[in-house]
Amino acid sequence: MAPNGSLPSPVLLLLLLLLPPLLRAAPQTPRVSVSPVVSGLLGTDVQLPCHLAPGEVEVQVSQVTWLCDNQRRDRSSIAVFHPTHGAGFPSTGPGAERLAFVSQSQSPGSKFHDASLIIRDLRAEDEANYTCEFATFPGGNSKGTTWLRILAEPENHAEAHEVTSGPAPIAVATCVSSGGRPPARISWSPPSVGRSNESRTAGPVPDTFTVTSCLTLIPTAQMNKKKVICRVEHETLREPKQLPVLLTVKYAPEVSISSSDEDWLLGQQEASLDCAAQSHPPPLAYRWSTASGSLPPTAVSEGSKLVVSSVDWSANATFICQVTNAVGTGWASRTIRVRGERGPRGSRGRTEAEGTLGPPPRADSWDP
Protein backbone atom coordinates (compact mmCIF):
# COMPACT_ATOMS: atom_id res chain seq x y z
CA MET A 1 0.00 0.00 0.00
CA ALA A 2 1.29 3.50 -0.83
CA PRO A 3 2.50 5.67 2.08
CA ASN A 4 0.20 8.43 3.36
CA GLY A 5 0.13 11.41 0.98
CA SER A 6 1.61 9.45 -1.95
CA LEU A 7 -0.18 8.76 -5.26
CA PRO A 8 -1.76 5.33 -5.91
CA SER A 9 0.36 2.83 -7.77
CA PRO A 10 -0.43 2.14 -11.50
CA VAL A 11 -1.62 -1.39 -10.64
CA LEU A 12 -4.15 -0.06 -8.11
CA LEU A 13 -5.44 2.47 -10.64
CA LEU A 14 -5.97 -0.31 -13.17
CA LEU A 15 -7.93 -2.38 -10.68
CA LEU A 16 -10.13 0.57 -9.83
CA LEU A 17 -10.92 1.09 -13.51
CA LEU A 18 -11.82 -2.57 -14.11
CA LEU A 19 -13.87 -3.07 -10.96
CA PRO A 20 -17.23 -1.58 -12.16
CA PRO A 21 -17.49 -3.87 -15.23
CA LEU A 22 -16.63 -6.87 -13.09
CA LEU A 23 -19.30 -5.98 -10.54
CA ARG A 24 -21.92 -5.20 -13.19
CA ALA A 25 -24.54 -8.03 -13.46
CA ALA A 26 -24.54 -10.12 -16.60
CA PRO A 27 -27.58 -9.64 -18.89
CA GLN A 28 -30.51 -11.75 -17.72
CA THR A 29 -32.07 -14.28 -20.09
CA PRO A 30 -35.54 -13.03 -21.10
CA ARG A 31 -38.52 -15.03 -19.83
CA VAL A 32 -41.05 -16.52 -22.27
CA SER A 33 -44.63 -16.85 -21.03
CA VAL A 34 -46.75 -19.72 -22.45
CA SER A 35 -49.70 -21.87 -21.34
CA PRO A 36 -48.61 -25.35 -20.23
CA VAL A 37 -51.74 -26.97 -21.74
CA VAL A 38 -54.19 -25.71 -24.33
CA SER A 39 -57.28 -27.63 -25.46
CA GLY A 40 -59.08 -27.18 -28.75
CA LEU A 41 -62.11 -28.78 -30.38
CA LEU A 42 -61.71 -30.83 -33.52
CA GLY A 43 -62.46 -28.71 -36.60
CA THR A 44 -62.20 -25.36 -34.78
CA ASP A 45 -59.40 -22.77 -34.40
CA VAL A 46 -57.12 -22.50 -31.38
CA GLN A 47 -54.57 -19.94 -30.19
CA LEU A 48 -51.28 -20.92 -28.55
CA PRO A 49 -50.22 -17.94 -26.39
CA CYS A 50 -46.52 -16.96 -26.34
CA HIS A 51 -45.21 -13.65 -25.01
CA LEU A 52 -41.78 -12.30 -24.23
CA ALA A 53 -42.05 -10.97 -20.70
CA PRO A 54 -40.56 -7.50 -20.14
CA GLY A 55 -37.29 -7.50 -18.19
CA GLU A 56 -34.95 -5.02 -16.55
CA VAL A 57 -32.77 -4.88 -19.65
CA GLU A 58 -34.28 -4.08 -23.04
CA VAL A 59 -33.53 -6.79 -25.60
CA GLN A 60 -33.85 -6.93 -29.36
CA VAL A 61 -35.74 -9.87 -30.90
CA SER A 62 -33.73 -11.47 -33.68
CA GLN A 63 -36.22 -14.25 -34.56
CA VAL A 64 -39.12 -16.28 -33.20
CA THR A 65 -39.50 -19.97 -34.05
CA TRP A 66 -42.31 -22.43 -33.33
CA LEU A 67 -41.32 -26.11 -33.16
CA CYS A 68 -43.73 -29.06 -33.23
CA ASP A 69 -42.80 -32.29 -31.47
CA ASN A 70 -45.33 -34.90 -32.60
CA GLN A 71 -45.07 -38.62 -31.90
CA ARG A 72 -46.11 -39.31 -35.50
CA ARG A 73 -43.27 -37.29 -37.03
CA ASP A 74 -39.90 -35.84 -36.14
CA ARG A 75 -39.57 -32.52 -34.39
CA SER A 76 -39.83 -29.80 -36.99
CA SER A 77 -40.05 -26.05 -37.40
CA ILE A 78 -43.57 -25.01 -38.42
CA ALA A 79 -43.53 -21.21 -38.10
CA VAL A 80 -40.83 -18.51 -38.11
CA PHE A 81 -41.08 -14.75 -37.66
CA HIS A 82 -38.23 -12.35 -38.50
CA PRO A 83 -38.57 -8.67 -37.58
CA THR A 84 -37.39 -7.65 -41.06
CA HIS A 85 -38.57 -10.47 -43.34
CA GLY A 86 -41.87 -11.18 -41.60
CA ALA A 87 -43.59 -14.57 -41.13
CA GLY A 88 -42.79 -17.86 -42.81
CA PHE A 89 -44.27 -21.33 -42.49
CA PRO A 90 -41.81 -23.98 -43.67
CA SER A 91 -43.87 -27.02 -42.61
CA THR A 92 -46.54 -28.80 -44.63
CA GLY A 93 -48.46 -30.10 -41.65
CA PRO A 94 -49.85 -27.82 -40.43
CA GLY A 95 -48.84 -25.45 -43.20
CA ALA A 96 -49.32 -21.82 -44.16
CA GLU A 97 -53.01 -22.41 -45.00
CA ARG A 98 -53.74 -23.26 -41.35
CA LEU A 99 -51.16 -21.19 -39.43
CA ALA A 100 -50.87 -17.50 -38.58
CA PHE A 101 -49.15 -15.30 -36.03
CA VAL A 102 -51.56 -13.17 -34.02
CA SER A 103 -49.26 -10.16 -34.46
CA GLN A 104 -47.81 -10.90 -37.89
CA SER A 105 -49.55 -7.89 -39.44
CA GLN A 106 -47.31 -5.43 -37.57
CA SER A 107 -44.84 -3.43 -39.62
CA PRO A 108 -41.27 -4.76 -40.15
CA GLY A 109 -38.72 -3.42 -37.68
CA SER A 110 -41.20 -2.94 -34.83
CA LYS A 111 -40.83 -4.70 -31.51
CA PHE A 112 -42.18 -8.25 -31.63
CA HIS A 113 -43.00 -9.53 -28.13
CA ASP A 114 -46.27 -11.38 -28.92
CA ALA A 115 -45.55 -14.59 -30.84
CA SER A 116 -48.92 -16.25 -30.18
CA LEU A 117 -49.76 -18.74 -32.94
CA ILE A 118 -53.17 -19.57 -34.42
CA ILE A 119 -53.87 -23.07 -35.75
CA ARG A 120 -57.04 -23.32 -37.84
CA ASP A 121 -59.31 -26.29 -38.57
CA LEU A 122 -57.82 -28.51 -35.86
CA ARG A 123 -57.16 -32.15 -36.71
CA ALA A 124 -56.36 -35.07 -34.47
CA GLU A 125 -52.77 -35.21 -35.74
CA ASP A 126 -52.23 -31.63 -34.48
CA GLU A 127 -52.09 -32.94 -30.92
CA ALA A 128 -48.44 -32.42 -29.92
CA ASN A 129 -45.95 -30.39 -27.91
CA TYR A 130 -45.38 -26.90 -29.39
CA THR A 131 -42.26 -24.94 -28.38
CA CYS A 132 -42.08 -21.19 -28.82
CA GLU A 133 -38.45 -19.93 -28.91
CA PHE A 134 -37.28 -16.30 -28.90
CA ALA A 135 -33.76 -15.46 -30.12
CA THR A 136 -32.76 -12.12 -28.56
CA PHE A 137 -29.74 -9.86 -28.23
CA PRO A 138 -28.04 -9.63 -25.85
CA GLY A 139 -30.21 -11.98 -23.76
CA GLY A 140 -29.78 -15.12 -25.86
CA ASN A 141 -32.46 -17.74 -26.51
CA SER A 142 -35.54 -18.36 -24.35
CA LYS A 143 -38.38 -20.78 -24.91
CA GLY A 144 -41.55 -22.28 -23.50
CA THR A 145 -43.55 -25.41 -24.41
CA THR A 146 -47.31 -25.94 -24.69
CA TRP A 147 -49.09 -29.28 -24.91
CA LEU A 148 -51.98 -28.98 -27.37
CA ARG A 149 -54.82 -31.42 -26.68
CA ILE A 150 -57.41 -32.07 -29.39
CA LEU A 151 -60.92 -32.77 -28.09
CA ALA A 152 -64.16 -33.75 -29.83
CA GLU A 153 -67.59 -33.43 -28.24
CA PRO A 154 -69.56 -36.69 -28.54
CA GLU A 155 -73.18 -37.16 -29.57
CA ASN A 156 -75.14 -39.11 -26.97
CA HIS A 157 -78.36 -41.08 -27.01
CA ALA A 158 -79.98 -43.89 -25.04
CA GLU A 159 -82.86 -46.25 -25.75
CA ALA A 160 -84.72 -49.16 -24.20
CA HIS A 161 -85.13 -52.60 -25.79
CA GLU A 162 -88.50 -54.33 -25.54
CA VAL A 163 -87.80 -57.65 -23.84
CA THR A 164 -89.88 -60.48 -22.39
CA SER A 165 -89.74 -61.43 -18.73
CA GLY A 166 -87.68 -64.50 -17.97
CA PRO A 167 -85.07 -66.02 -15.65
CA ALA A 168 -81.96 -65.13 -17.70
CA PRO A 169 -80.17 -61.74 -17.74
CA ILE A 170 -80.64 -59.79 -20.96
CA ALA A 171 -79.76 -56.33 -22.33
CA VAL A 172 -82.71 -54.03 -21.61
CA ALA A 173 -81.19 -50.65 -22.58
CA THR A 174 -78.29 -49.23 -24.57
CA CYS A 175 -76.46 -45.93 -24.20
CA VAL A 176 -74.16 -44.70 -26.97
CA SER A 177 -71.65 -41.83 -26.89
CA SER A 178 -70.40 -41.38 -30.46
CA GLY A 179 -67.48 -39.42 -31.89
CA GLY A 180 -65.83 -38.31 -28.64
CA ARG A 181 -62.15 -37.60 -28.11
CA PRO A 182 -61.01 -38.85 -25.67
CA PRO A 183 -63.57 -41.64 -25.12
CA ALA A 184 -66.55 -40.71 -22.95
CA ARG A 185 -67.26 -42.36 -19.58
CA ILE A 186 -70.70 -43.99 -19.22
CA SER A 187 -72.45 -45.15 -16.05
CA TRP A 188 -76.00 -46.15 -15.10
CA SER A 189 -78.10 -45.11 -12.13
CA PRO A 190 -79.33 -46.30 -9.81
CA PRO A 191 -76.11 -48.38 -9.62
CA SER A 192 -77.92 -51.42 -8.23
CA VAL A 193 -80.35 -51.73 -11.12
CA GLY A 194 -78.20 -54.12 -13.14
CA ARG A 195 -74.83 -54.80 -14.72
CA SER A 196 -73.33 -52.82 -17.60
CA ASN A 197 -71.25 -54.18 -20.48
CA GLU A 198 -69.14 -51.59 -22.30
CA SER A 199 -67.44 -51.65 -25.68
CA ARG A 200 -65.32 -49.10 -27.57
CA THR A 201 -65.04 -48.73 -31.34
CA ALA A 202 -63.70 -46.18 -33.82
CA GLY A 203 -65.86 -43.07 -34.13
CA PRO A 204 -67.38 -41.60 -37.30
CA VAL A 205 -64.45 -39.15 -37.61
CA PRO A 206 -60.84 -40.44 -37.69
CA ASP A 207 -59.18 -40.60 -34.26
CA THR A 208 -62.48 -40.30 -32.39
CA PHE A 209 -64.20 -42.98 -30.33
CA THR A 210 -67.66 -44.43 -29.88
CA VAL A 211 -68.49 -45.95 -26.49
CA THR A 212 -71.50 -48.28 -26.15
CA SER A 213 -72.84 -49.39 -22.77
CA CYS A 214 -75.55 -52.08 -22.46
CA LEU A 215 -77.55 -52.40 -19.25
CA THR A 216 -78.18 -56.07 -18.46
CA LEU A 217 -80.57 -57.45 -15.86
CA ILE A 218 -83.10 -60.22 -15.20
CA PRO A 219 -86.32 -58.88 -16.75
CA THR A 220 -89.30 -59.07 -14.41
CA ALA A 221 -92.75 -57.53 -14.42
CA GLN A 222 -91.62 -55.08 -11.74
CA MET A 223 -88.99 -53.70 -14.13
CA ASN A 224 -91.55 -52.59 -16.71
CA LYS A 225 -91.75 -48.77 -16.93
CA LYS A 226 -88.92 -48.45 -14.44
CA LYS A 227 -86.82 -45.35 -15.11
CA VAL A 228 -83.06 -45.67 -15.32
CA ILE A 229 -80.57 -42.96 -16.23
CA CYS A 230 -77.56 -43.17 -18.52
CA ARG A 231 -74.89 -40.74 -17.30
CA VAL A 232 -72.29 -39.58 -19.85
CA GLU A 233 -69.17 -37.71 -18.70
CA HIS A 234 -66.74 -35.98 -21.06
CA GLU A 235 -64.22 -33.15 -20.88
CA THR A 236 -66.16 -31.08 -23.40
CA LEU A 237 -69.34 -31.17 -21.28
CA ARG A 238 -69.76 -28.62 -18.49
CA GLU A 239 -71.75 -31.19 -16.54
CA PRO A 240 -72.58 -34.88 -17.10
CA LYS A 241 -75.28 -35.63 -19.65
CA GLN A 242 -78.30 -37.35 -18.02
CA LEU A 243 -80.32 -39.51 -20.43
CA PRO A 244 -83.50 -41.01 -18.86
CA VAL A 245 -84.77 -44.34 -20.20
CA LEU A 246 -88.06 -46.15 -19.42
CA LEU A 247 -87.56 -49.90 -19.47
CA THR A 248 -90.04 -52.00 -21.43
CA VAL A 249 -90.63 -55.57 -20.21
CA LYS A 250 -93.40 -57.73 -21.65
CA TYR A 251 -94.95 -60.15 -19.15
CA ALA A 252 -97.95 -62.43 -18.80
CA PRO A 253 -100.97 -61.18 -16.83
CA GLU A 254 -100.78 -61.04 -13.05
CA VAL A 255 -104.37 -61.67 -11.96
CA SER A 256 -106.44 -60.98 -8.85
CA ILE A 257 -110.18 -61.33 -8.15
CA SER A 258 -112.27 -59.02 -5.97
CA SER A 259 -115.92 -59.25 -4.92
CA SER A 260 -118.55 -56.50 -4.84
CA ASP A 261 -119.71 -57.80 -1.46
CA GLU A 262 -117.74 -59.44 1.28
CA ASP A 263 -120.55 -61.94 1.90
CA TRP A 264 -123.03 -63.41 -0.57
CA LEU A 265 -126.45 -64.13 0.79
CA LEU A 266 -128.86 -66.70 -0.47
CA GLY A 267 -131.32 -64.96 -2.78
CA GLN A 268 -129.12 -61.90 -3.16
CA GLN A 269 -129.56 -60.00 -6.44
CA GLU A 270 -126.65 -58.80 -8.64
CA ALA A 271 -123.60 -60.24 -6.93
CA SER A 272 -120.41 -59.89 -8.96
CA LEU A 273 -116.72 -60.70 -9.17
CA ASP A 274 -114.11 -58.44 -10.82
CA CYS A 275 -110.98 -59.83 -12.45
CA ALA A 276 -108.09 -57.39 -12.45
CA ALA A 277 -105.01 -58.07 -14.57
CA GLN A 278 -101.69 -56.25 -14.72
CA SER A 279 -99.80 -57.09 -17.91
CA HIS A 280 -97.78 -55.80 -20.83
CA PRO A 281 -99.07 -55.87 -23.47
CA PRO A 282 -102.72 -55.50 -22.35
CA PRO A 283 -105.00 -58.55 -21.95
CA LEU A 284 -106.59 -60.04 -25.04
CA ALA A 285 -109.22 -62.24 -23.42
CA TYR A 286 -110.82 -63.23 -20.09
CA ARG A 287 -112.19 -66.71 -19.28
CA TRP A 288 -114.37 -67.49 -16.28
CA SER A 289 -114.93 -70.97 -14.88
CA THR A 290 -115.22 -72.83 -11.59
CA ALA A 291 -113.14 -75.56 -10.04
CA SER A 292 -115.84 -78.02 -11.09
CA GLY A 293 -115.76 -76.73 -14.66
CA SER A 294 -119.09 -75.10 -15.48
CA LEU A 295 -120.41 -71.76 -14.28
CA PRO A 296 -123.64 -71.55 -12.23
CA PRO A 297 -126.76 -71.10 -14.38
CA THR A 298 -127.32 -67.59 -13.03
CA ALA A 299 -123.73 -66.43 -13.74
CA VAL A 300 -122.93 -64.39 -16.85
CA SER A 301 -119.41 -63.50 -18.00
CA GLU A 302 -118.96 -59.89 -19.11
CA GLY A 303 -115.27 -59.75 -19.96
CA SER A 304 -113.36 -59.03 -16.77
CA LYS A 305 -116.57 -59.10 -14.73
CA LEU A 306 -118.68 -62.08 -13.68
CA VAL A 307 -122.28 -61.18 -12.75
CA VAL A 308 -124.56 -63.51 -10.79
CA SER A 309 -128.12 -62.27 -11.27
CA SER A 310 -129.54 -64.24 -8.33
CA VAL A 311 -127.47 -66.03 -5.70
CA ASP A 312 -128.45 -69.64 -5.06
CA TRP A 313 -126.56 -72.59 -3.73
CA SER A 314 -124.86 -73.16 -7.11
CA ALA A 315 -122.86 -69.99 -6.44
CA ASN A 316 -121.21 -71.75 -3.50
CA ALA A 317 -118.06 -72.48 -5.55
CA THR A 318 -114.45 -71.60 -6.37
CA PHE A 319 -114.48 -69.17 -9.28
CA ILE A 320 -111.49 -68.94 -11.61
CA CYS A 321 -110.51 -66.07 -13.90
CA GLN A 322 -108.00 -66.85 -16.62
CA VAL A 323 -106.45 -63.89 -18.52
CA THR A 324 -104.40 -64.15 -21.71
CA ASN A 325 -102.18 -61.66 -23.54
CA ALA A 326 -99.56 -61.95 -26.28
CA VAL A 327 -96.97 -63.25 -23.81
CA GLY A 328 -98.92 -65.90 -21.95
CA THR A 329 -101.69 -66.66 -19.48
CA GLY A 330 -102.21 -65.88 -15.83
CA TRP A 331 -105.05 -66.84 -13.54
CA ALA A 332 -106.46 -66.48 -10.07
CA SER A 333 -109.26 -68.09 -8.07
CA ARG A 334 -111.65 -67.00 -5.34
CA THR A 335 -113.85 -69.22 -3.21
CA ILE A 336 -117.36 -67.98 -2.45
CA ARG A 337 -119.47 -69.48 0.33
CA VAL A 338 -123.13 -68.59 0.26
CA ARG A 339 -124.64 -67.66 3.61
CA GLY A 340 -128.21 -68.69 4.28
CA GLU A 341 -130.57 -71.54 5.26
CA ARG A 342 -130.09 -74.66 3.20
CA GLY A 343 -132.97 -76.55 4.70
CA PRO A 344 -133.31 -79.40 7.20
CA ARG A 345 -129.98 -80.86 6.12
CA GLY A 346 -128.32 -77.47 5.49
CA SER A 347 -126.20 -75.31 7.70
CA ARG A 348 -125.23 -71.68 7.97
CA GLY A 349 -121.98 -70.44 6.43
CA ARG A 350 -120.15 -67.24 5.57
CA THR A 351 -118.30 -65.92 2.54
CA GLU A 352 -114.62 -66.72 2.30
CA ALA A 353 -112.44 -65.44 -0.57
CA GLU A 354 -108.93 -66.35 -1.48
CA GLY A 355 -106.62 -65.99 -4.49
CA THR A 356 -104.27 -68.71 -5.65
CA LEU A 357 -101.91 -69.30 -8.53
CA GLY A 358 -101.28 -72.62 -10.17
CA PRO A 359 -101.91 -74.56 -13.38
CA PRO A 360 -104.87 -73.03 -15.21
CA PRO A 361 -108.03 -75.21 -15.05
CA ARG A 362 -110.37 -75.90 -17.92
CA ALA A 363 -112.19 -72.68 -18.80
CA ASP A 364 -115.94 -72.83 -19.16
CA SER A 365 -116.65 -69.28 -20.33
CA TRP A 366 -114.51 -67.38 -22.88
CA ASP A 367 -114.74 -63.59 -23.42
CA PRO A 368 -112.37 -61.62 -25.63
Percent of the chain's residues with pLDDT above 70 = 82
Question: How many beta carbons lie within 10 A of that of residue 9, not counting itself?
Answer: 11
Examine the domain organization and report whether 270 and 314 are in the same domain.
yes
pLDDT tens-digit map of 132-186: 999 998 888 999 999 999 999 999 999 999 999 999 999 999 999 999 999 999 9
Examine the domain organization and report whether 313 and 356 are in the same domain.
yes
Examine the domain organization and report whether 266 and 316 are in the same domain.
yes
Examine the domain organization and report whether 42 and 141 are in the same domain.
yes
**Average pLDDT, rounded, for the chain:** 86
Examine the domain organization and report whether 89 and 144 are in the same domain.
yes
pLDDT of 19 over the 60 cut: no
- For residue 195, what is the domain's CATH number? 2.60.40.10
Structural domain contains residue 271: yes
**Where does a domain end: 221, 246, 271?**
246
Total tally of structural domains belonging to the chain: 3
**Where does a domain end: 246, 265, 297?**
246
Examine the domain organization and report whether 328 and 363 are in the same domain.
yes
Examine the domain organization and report whether 353 and 287 are in the same domain.
yes
Examine the domain organization and report whether 161 and 145 are in the same domain.
no
Residue 303: alpha-carbon gap to chain centroid = 46
Examine the domain organization and report whether 213 and 278 are in the same domain.
no
Question: Can you give the residue range of the structural domain that contains 297?
Answer: 252-367
Which CB contacts under 8 angstroms, 24+ apart, belong to 83-92? 83/108, 83/109, 83/110, 83/112, 84/108, 84/109
pLDDT tens-digit map of 91-110: 877 888 999 999 866 555 55
Structural domain contains residue 10: no
Examine the domain organization and report whether 88 and 199 are in the same domain.
no
Examine the domain organization and report whether 204 and 289 are in the same domain.
no
Examine the domain organization and report whether 42 and 142 are in the same domain.
yes
Q: Which residues of 128-152 are buried (b: 16+ CB within 10 A; e: fewer)?
A: bebbbbbbbeebeebbbbbebbbbb
